[in-house]
Amino acid sequence: MTSRRLLVLAERLLPALTLALLLAAIFHQQPRAMSYFGLNLLLNLAVPIVFATLAQMVVIAVNDLDLSIGAYVSLVACIGATLLVQTPWLGVLALLGAVVLYAAVGALIAWRGLPSIVVTLGLSFVWLGLAVTVLPTPGGHAPAWLATTMGWKPPLAPLALWIAAVVSLVGWFAVTRSSLGVVLRGAGGNARSVARAGWSLMAIRVAVYATAGILGLLSGLSLLGLTTSGDANIASRYTLISIASVILGGASFVGGRVFPVGAVLGAMTLTLAASFLTFMRISPDWQVGAQGLILIAVLAIRAVLARGKEAAP
């Protein structure tokens, strides 16, 4: 194997190696964490972060950036903690309406050629306002079926690991092996060629943002099932965490270059970093700093590997 191929392999394995090193450090510091119960505590909030990360990933795949996913996840949690409990049919309609609005935003961006950063930043205030309207103060409670589902303890491994494995496999197949995945990556890499091939860029944007809305809905509901109550700011950090997780997983902001498995591994890495510091009773302020340091370190290593590939024969 040539040196260039080794560098390419190292770059692809970087998200998994980062997660493995973090787990090794955690197990060395806290050997008791090397158990079903310990992993369940550490990965308790991984599921909603994984779904939020995948929502961000599909948007980044078409060279856009979603700055509203955190507020959207919070809104879903607020709807789930109130309307979905008090008036289930109204709650379902509200959630479906949120997904439709997400898709409409994609149509607006494609129709007018607006920058996604500006549009989604404005949309984040819309989601926040709706969340505060639905649930002015933290409270409410999760539907019994949702709390039961998220509290399920499957055999062999915690629920978060099973869900991460399944969504990684589905995401890998959808992006790399399906015809729709080819179109999605093409829209991010060379939109003009996709349009000349007969595909509607408007339809692609609508589908991408609708998918992001559905994944964000799963994130909000799973978060509600874990926390059992709602809050308009419960997922305020998810926007930056989702972007960091996607980039940590090997994606780039241009060219339609995304990796679902890497994104899931990135989300789990940042979740573990925060959970471990919480487990060690360290201030939440340091959690954000630790996540940032991990991202910077991985990006620095990736830059070194990229230079090595350029110099390799």
Per-residue pLDDT of 140-152, as tens digits, reads 888 988 888 888 8
Q: What integer is the mean pLDDT of 40-51?
A: 88
Hey, which residues does 230 pair with through a beta bridge?
Answer: 139
d(CA 18, CA 294): 9
Characterise 156 by phi-psi region: left (phi > 0), alpha (psi -120 to 50), beta (else): left
Give 130's pLDDT tier (boundaries 50, 70, 90).
very high
What amino acid occupies position 282? I
The confidence score (pLDDT) of residue 113 equals 83
Q: pLDDT tens for residues 264-297?
A: 998 888 888 777 776 666 666 666 666 677 777 7
- Cα–Cα distance for residue pair 267/238, rounded to 1 Å: 10
Q: Is the pLDDT of residue 97 over 90?
A: yes
Picking from 217, 212, 210, 208, the residue whose alpha carbon sits closest to that of residue 74 is 217
According to CATH, the topology of domain 10-304 is ABC transporter involved in vitamin B12 uptake, BtuC (1.10.3470)
Q: Which stretch of DSSP H or E encloses residue 76?
A: helix 69-81
Phi-psi region of 198 (alpha: psi -120 to 50; beta: other; left: phi over 0): left
pTM: 0.90
Asked if the model's pLDDT at residue 28 lies above 90, the reply is: no
> Distances in Å between the alpha carbon of 22 and those of 29, 38, 48, 56, 268?
11, 14, 20, 24, 10
* Percentage with pLDDT > 90 across the chain: 26
- Work out the average pLDDT over 239-255: 81
Give the integer Cα–Cα distance in Å for 35 and 136.
39
